[in-house]
Structure formats: structure tokens, C-alpha cells
């Protein structure tokens, strides 16, 4: 697994909800998940959520989630605090999600990403994800298209 200096990847819990809500609003604005949605995701069946914690301060600087349906794993979200973007935090979390999906025996890891999110597209393509198709108006309320991407694990 890749590491980012000064970051520890750990499971998320209810106590992390205030930090998750703050980052979700800052990163995703009008399309951000509500606090209720975040809480449901953390405890939902087949879900696995992790956080990237700054070891010096204990602050949560990133979060990511995976859903496993019995065959494919779906990246539900990856978010990195804006002050830590470009420092490898997203790579560490994505590597952890893919490793977990492999451990579950998933056939593929799937995701959607905004067509205009170049840093995320570079992250996913470096990890081996390939574009499968475009979903028109996937991200609401902004009405922005998404690329669907896949990483075969078998």
C-alpha cells in the first residue's frame, strides 16, 4: 500500500461525522451529501469507510468509502481536505479501498467521477481505472456529467 507522509488510514466512526460534514460541504458544495446521508453511509450494509488522519494533529484530512454488493465494489466517495490535496492522501485512500475490495473477492471496482475533475481523473487513471462511458447530468444539482470507470480485479 502507498503511504503519504504523516497520514494514518483508519476506519471511520460516528465521532468523525462533524469533520466529514465540514469537508463534504467544502469539497462538494451544492452536491454535498447531507449529515443524515453521511451517517447512513457509515453504517450501511456492505459499506466500508476509512479516514486519513494527520498523525501530528489527529485531524481528519480525508475520507473514502466503498460498497460491496457481493461481486463488484463501488467507490462511493473520496475526499481530501483542500489543504492536503496533491500530497498523496487520495492515493493512499484509493489504494486501501482497492486492497479491501480484493480482500472481499470483488471482480471489479467501479466509480463515477465528474468529467471536469482532472485531478481525480489522473488519480484513477494512474491506479489503472479505465473509462467505460459517460452519464449525462449525473451530478445534481449542478447537472454535470460523470465518467463511469472500472478497474478489473480478476
Contact 112/147 with Cβ under 8 angstroms?
yes
Mean pLDDT value of segment 37-60: 94
Mean pLDDT value of segment 129-139: 96
Give the 3-state secondary structure of residue 87: coil
For residue 35, give the C-alpha cell.
449529515
Predicted TM-score (pTM) above 0.85: yes
Average pLDDT, the chain: 93
In this predicted structure, what is the pLDDT of residue 3? Answer: 60
Amino acid at each position: 500500500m502507498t503511504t503519504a507522509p504523516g497520514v494514518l488510514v483508519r476506519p471511520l466512526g460516528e465521532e468523525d461525522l462533524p469533520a466529514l460534514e465540514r469537508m463534504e460541504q467544502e469539497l462538494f458544495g451544492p452536491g454535498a451529501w447531507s449529515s443524515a446521508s453521511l451517517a447512513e453511509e457509515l453504517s450501511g450494509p456492505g459499506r466500508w469507510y476509512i479516514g486519513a488522519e494527520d498523525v501530528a494533529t489527529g485531524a481528519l484530512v480525508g475520507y473514502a468509502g466503498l460498497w460491496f454488493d457481493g461481486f463488484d465494489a463501488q467507490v462511493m466517495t473520496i475526499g481530501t481536505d483542500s489543504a492536503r490535496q496533491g500530497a498523496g492522501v487520495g492515493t493512499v485512500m484509493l489504494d486501501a479501498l482497492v486492497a479491501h475490495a480484493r480482500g472481499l473477492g470483488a471482480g471489479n471496482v467501479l466509480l463515477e467521477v465528474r468529467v471536469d475533475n482532472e485531478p481525480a481523473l489522473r488519480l484513477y487513471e494512474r491506479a489503472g481505472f479505465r473509462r467505460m462511458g459517460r452519464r449525462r447530468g449525473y451530478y445534481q444539482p449542478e447537472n454535470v456529467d460523470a465518467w463511469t470507470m472500472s478497474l478489473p480485479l480478476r
